[in-house]
């Protein structure tokens, strides 16, 4: 760490009052360009092991401490030690000193190892082995991240664990705002915590991929699980991120960070002073906070003020024919005609004489590139921001979702009518051209208004989202073998030793049964148009069936019975979808499904996409009130197993979860 770094200076007093850590000096490492790291010393460290044993043997003590830290009344906070990866250093009743291995993203840490993340994201412990204060450490309970991550950054759909340092809930004041260096990102499963934590969100500020030319867009479509709000943490971070992204090389970026660390000293000092003042007045204040999200998505954060009052205004504006939407549409039609014309001209001319129907362009040319509909795209954005500025958040007023949806449908119909009018005659007679034009138009519209619609849906479905989040958390160790299903569809037998490990797996783990379907479903939130989303649903269903069919035919082959067309009906599909929904932890799923249901074109509602949608709606409903204790969907003997696993096997007692 650079000596001038204000973070360290400001935090040292806080930490030293708690505990001192001595990092293990780096040993052998697999980092190709870095000095080696050594885990053996960590694994062999008796103090760490003792501490962990201690913590796990006396979960009540740790729980008491956490309860105090989080200021939660007893009974609200449910702590599951076996899922608990992050330990505070200052456990009062334990009071050990530890050797902690300073881990960076590029290091490997075997399961069971203790590691502490750096207090500065950009710092690499392999090159800066000096001791740094940090209040706690993690226990690795998941397999190491795949090697490719080093090259490509965190891939799509991977869950990340985020540690934020020295931030409190209220981000409105400058002293609470986060610096880039205060955020550490790790490719680990998110922490398991009760969904009842109020006013907490996770923010992801990641600099590792900042040198990539597509860094900004890539992060937007990658990483965030449902409950992680992907955004720069503050204005400062926004600016930082922008600048960091503009720096093309890592070296430039690191220089920039160094500059940032030097220049923001006053902010950090103020933060530190305020913390110290609070610390003196209130002993229970947490000097370091790990922010934990309620496992609801950013779409669904009920505490976030919604600006719904302006939504009606928005839709009125969009549908107002006098507004520039009309001219925007003309542009769109012109573009579309040009593009389609170029593609379709030759075959259409050739075929026009003998047949009344113009020949469709060859299918390899579809889909056509999207014409721009820029004005339409900008309109809601402008309104959105204006509404945020003008309107105080509506108090208790339900978001006028229904009006907005109706209006959007009206707008869409009107736009389609206009499109038909503006299309040249030759194209208008080609059903394929008209269909494609409408499809693209609808896609444009949805892309432009998604940011407005999605919070409305989240608010409308808040209860369902919350129920699903709670249930997904409660049922997080669910496996297909817990369900009333034909045994070949379990993929993993309940008695299998690997089943035990699989129960603790995160949703990105490729060893999970039906992992591909789970991961597919997790991409749902990355798409903006109902058609794209419905396609994801269909693919997820198909993947489940593909997997299950393979298992069935393998079993049929194994038992020597002639395969009489191993086929799966809804009786088997639905329970598996419940499993996939639960495991995927896409907690915004109810809102997503409602959105798709409202806007999926009627033709598709009737087809396979519609079926996939309805099946997932069903599965989602059932997943919301699934529970271990009594559910006709679960095998009776599985109820005990799964519940025990959920309650914390490593504690050796099922009583680890407080109710």
Partner 1 sequence: MASRTSSYKVVLLGEGRVGKTSLVLRFCRDTFVDGQPPTIQASCLERALRLGDKTVNLVIWDTAGQERFHALGPIYYRDADAALLVYDITDTDSFKRIQVWVRELRKMVGDSIQLSIAGNKSDLERQRVVSRQEAAEYADSVGAHYAETSAKQNRGLDELFSSMGKRLLASREEKLGSPALGSGPASTRRSRGAAMVLIDDEPPASSSSSRCC
Q: Give contact residues for partner 1 (rule: CB under 8 A).
A: 402, 405-406, 409, 412-413, 460, 484, 538, 541-542, 545, 549, 565, 567-571, 573-575, 594, 597-598, 600, 602-603, 605-608, 611-612, 614-615, 617-618, 621-622, 631-633
CB 174 within 8 A of CB 148: no
- Shortest distance in whole angstroms from residue 467 CB to partner 1: 13
- Shortest distance in whole angstroms from residue 599 CB to partner 1: 8
C-alpha torsion sign, points 300, 304, 305, 307: negative
Give 491 or 596: the residue with its C-beta nearer to partner 1.
596
How far does CA 16 lie from the centroid of its chain?
35
Give the tokens for residue 2: 């650079």
- Shortest distance in whole angstroms from residue 633 CB to partner 1: 5
User: Directed axis angle between helix 515-522 and helix 570-584, to 10°?
Assistant: 60
- Shortest distance in whole angstroms from residue 361 CB to partner 1: 23
- Shortest distance in whole angstroms from residue 480 CB to partner 1: 15
* 215/219 Cα distance (integer angstroms): 6
Give 248 or 567: the residue with its C-beta nearer to partner 1.
567
* 392/410 Cα distance (integer angstroms): 28
C-alpha torsion sign, points 494, 495, 496, 497: positive
Cβ contacts of 260 within 8 Å, gap of 6 or more: 179, 180, 181, 240
Phi, psi values for residue 185, rounded to 5°: -115, 130
Phi, psi values for residue 130, rounded to 5°: -70, 155
DSSP secondary structure code for residue 267 in this structure? H
Give 66 or 638: the residue with its C-beta nearer to partner 1.
638
Q: Tell how strand 114-117 and strand 202-203 pair up.
A: unpaired
Give 237 or 604: the residue with its C-beta nearer to partner 1.
604
207 C-beta neighbours (distance < 10 Å), count? 24
- DSSP state letters, 318-352: HH-TTSTHHHHHHHHHHHHHHHHHHHHHHHHHHHH
Give 256 or 595: the residue with its C-beta nearer to partner 1.
595
ω into 585 cis (within 30 of 0): no
Three-state secondary-structure class, residue 45: coil
Give 344 or 594: the residue with its C-beta nearer to partner 1.
594
- Shortest distance in whole angstroms from residue 533 CB to partner 1: 15
Give 243 or 414: the residue with its C-beta nearer to partner 1.
414
- Shortest distance in whole angstroms from residue 156 CB to partner 1: 23
* 553/573 Cα distance (integer angstroms): 16
Rg (CA), the chain: 27
Among residues 242, 142, 238, the alpha carbon closest in space to that of 507 is found at 142
C-alpha torsion sign, points 79, 82, 84, 86: positive
Give 355 or 632: the residue with its C-beta nearer to partner 1.
632
- Shortest distance in whole angstroms from residue 615 CB to partner 1: 7
CB 176 within 8 A of CB 299: no
- Shortest distance in whole angstroms from residue 571 CB to partner 1: 5
- Bin 621: left if φ > 0, else alpha if -120 < ψ < 50, else beta: alpha
- Shortest distance in whole angstroms from residue 483 CB to partner 1: 10
Give 305 or 487: the residue with its C-beta nearer to partner 1.
487
- Shortest distance in whole angstroms from residue 597 CB to partner 1: 7
Give 475 or 574: the residue with its C-beta nearer to partner 1.
574
Q: To which residue do tokens 């609070």 refer?
A: 278
Q: For the chain, what's the residue count?
A: 659
Give the tokens for residue 280: 């003196």
- Shortest distance in whole angstroms from residue 526 CB to partner 1: 22
Give 42 or 485: the residue with its C-beta nearer to partner 1.
485
CB 484 within 8 A of CB 634: yes
- Shortest distance in whole angstroms from residue 594 CB to partner 1: 6
Cα atoms found within 13 Å of the Cα of residue 174, Cβ hemisphere only: 9
CB 616 within 8 A of CB 19: no
Give 270 or 535: the residue with its C-beta nearer to partner 1.
535
Give 198 or 607: the residue with its C-beta nearer to partner 1.
607
């Amino acid at each position: 760490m650079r000596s001038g770094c204000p973070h360290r200076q400001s935090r040292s007093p806080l930490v030293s009052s708690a505990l001192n850590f001595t990092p293990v000096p780096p040993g052998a490492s697999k980092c190709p360009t870095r000095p080696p790291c050594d885990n053996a010393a960590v694994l062999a460290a008796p103090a760490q092991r003792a501490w962990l044993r201690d913590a796990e043997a006396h979960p009540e003590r740790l729980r008491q401490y956490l309860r105090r830290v989080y200021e939660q009344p007893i009974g609200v906070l449910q702590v599951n030690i076996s899922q608990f990866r992050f330990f505070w250093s200052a456990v009062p009743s334990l009071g050990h000193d530890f050797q902690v291995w300073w881990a960076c993203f590029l290091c490997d840490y075997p399961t069971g190892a203790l590691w502490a993340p750096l207090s500065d994201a950009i710092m690499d412990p392999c090159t800066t082995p000096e001791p740094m204060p940090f209040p706690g450490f993690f226990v690795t309970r998941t397999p190491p991240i795949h090697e490719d991550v080093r090259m490509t950054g965190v891939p799509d759909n991977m869950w990340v664990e985020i540690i934020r340092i020295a931030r409190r809930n209220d981000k409105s004041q400058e002293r609470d705002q986060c610096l880039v260096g205060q955020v550490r990102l790790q490719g680990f499963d998110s922490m398991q915590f009760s969904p009842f934590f109020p006013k907490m969100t996770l923010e992801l500020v990641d600099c590792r991929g900042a040198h990539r030319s597509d860094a900004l867009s890539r992060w937007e479509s990658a990483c965030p699980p449902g409950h992680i709000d992907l955004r720069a943490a503050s204005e400062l971070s926004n600016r930082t991120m922008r600048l960091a992204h503009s720096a093309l090389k890592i070296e430039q970026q690191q220089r920039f960070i160094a500059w940032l660390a030097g220049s923001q000293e006053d902010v950090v000092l103020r933060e530190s002073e305020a913390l110290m003042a609070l610390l003196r007045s209130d002993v229970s204040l947490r000097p370091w906070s790990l922010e934990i999200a309620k496992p609801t998505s950013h779409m669904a954060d009920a505490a976030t003020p919604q600006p719904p009052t302006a939504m009606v205004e928005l839709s009125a504006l969009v549908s107002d024919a006098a507004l520039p939407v009309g001219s925007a549409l003309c542009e769109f039609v012109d573009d579309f005609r040009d593009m389609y014309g170029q593609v379709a001209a030759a075959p259409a001319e050739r075929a026009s004489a003998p047949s009344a129907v113009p020949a469709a362009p060859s299918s390899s040319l579809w889909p056509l590139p999207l014409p721009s509909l820029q004005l339409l795209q900008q309109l809601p954005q402008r309104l959105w921001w204006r509404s945020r500025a003008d309107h105080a958040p509506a108090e208790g007023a339900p978001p006028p979702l229904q009006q907005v949806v109706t209006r959007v449908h009206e707008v869409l119909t009107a736009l389609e009518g206009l499109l038909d009018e503006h299309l040249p005659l030759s194209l208008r007679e080609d059903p394929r051209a008209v269909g494609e034009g409408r499809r693209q138009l609808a896609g444009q519209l949805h892309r432009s208004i998604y940011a407005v619609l999605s919070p409305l849906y989240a608010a409308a479905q808040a209860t369902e989202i919350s129920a699903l989040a709670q249930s997904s958390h409660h049922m997080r160790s669910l496996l297909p073998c817990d369900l009333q299903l034909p045994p070949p569809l379990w993929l993993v037998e309940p008695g299998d030793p690997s089943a035990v490990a699989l129960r603790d797996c995160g949703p990105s783990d490729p060893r999970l049964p039906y992992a591909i379907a789970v991961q597919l479903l997790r991409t749902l939130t990355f798409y903006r148009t109902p058609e794209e989303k419905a396609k994801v649903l269909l693919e997820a269903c198909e993947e489940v069936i593909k997997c299950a069919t393979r298992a069935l035919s393998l079993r049929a082959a194994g038992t020597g019975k002639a395969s009489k067309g191993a086929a799966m009906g809804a009786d088997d599909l639905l329970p598996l979808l419940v499993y996939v929904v639960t495991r995927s932890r896409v907690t915004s799923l109810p809102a997503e499904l409602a959105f798709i249901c409202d806007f999926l074109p009627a033709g598709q509602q009737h087809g396979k996409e519609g079926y996939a949608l309805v099946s997932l709606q069903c599965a989602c409903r059932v997943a919301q009130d699934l529970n271990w204790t009594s559910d006709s969907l679960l095998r009776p003997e599985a109820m005990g197993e799964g519940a025990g696993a959920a309650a914390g096997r490593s504690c050796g007692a099922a009583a680890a979860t407080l109710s």
